[in-house]
Amino acid sequence: MSADIASATPPAPVKTKAGGGLRERKKERTRRTIRVEAFRLFREQGYTETTVEQIAAAADISPSTFFRYFPSKEQVAMADDLDPVMIASFESQPKELSVLAAFKKATLESFDALSPEDREFERQRVELLSKVPELRGAIGRELERSNDLIADLVSRRTGRSPDDFEVRIFAGALSGAMLGFIDHENFGPEQIVRVLDFLEAGMPL
């Protein structure tokens, strides 16, 4: 990892909307604490060298409690807290918008709602995934998950099956384009919108 990342103060993960009850709020705080402490340890001593036991101790929980929130250390890094925010925004877009236009508007709305600290957390998370060899293999699984997520969103918006040939091709093209272009050092909505604009224009070369 770069010296800049190693010395950076770890920002908090993106806040997700927990339920209004005390139990839900406590669970959300615990989950966020686990991620904050995990990323601090990743920066200070490296991803490979950090153990689940160390993360649990830093978060003041037991390892068994850790596993109630994340099935593995890998998932602490891979979990995308922007997903529920983006999904809610996408599904609220006017039906007259094209699918790509709806994704673009949802992207801008979702990032506009983030604090500077939340944006920085996401940028550093993307950078971690791109630089840690042990996590690169997980990106393939993340791509498959993204394909399924996009296909499901598109199917609900268009009324077509998520297994429809064109829906699957669309999902694969969108998630593949994002993965192929995203620059971890400048990760943000401008990059995502640029990808969406290029796809919407028919990918002219």
Higher confidence at residue 3 or residue 80? 80
Residue 60 pLDDT exceeds 80: yes
28-49 pLDDT per residue, tens: 999 999 999 999 999 899 999 9
* CATH level 3 topology of 3-76: Tetracycline Repressor; domain 2 (1.10.357)
Higher confidence at residue 168 or residue 21? 168
In CATH, 80-200 is 1.10.600.10: no
Answer yes or no: are the C-beta atoms of 157 and 99 closer than 8 Å: yes
- Rounded to whole angstroms, the Cα distance separating 171 from 151 reads 5
Which sequence spans correspond to the domains of the chain?
3-76, 80-200
Mean pLDDT of the chain: 86
Question: Coil, strand or helix: which one is 121?
Answer: helix
- CB < 8 Å & 24+ apart, contacts of 164-173: 170/99, 171/146, 171/147, 172/147, 173/199
Alpha helices in 159-188 (DSSP H): 165-181
Token code pair at residue 105: 């508007």
Sign of torsion over alpha carbons 153, 157, 163, 168 = negative
Token code pair at residue 151: 């296909």
Residue 2 pLDDT exceeds 80: no
Tell me whether the CATH fold assigned to 3-76 matches the one assigned to 80-200: yes
pLDDT band, residue 129 (cuts 50/70/90): confident
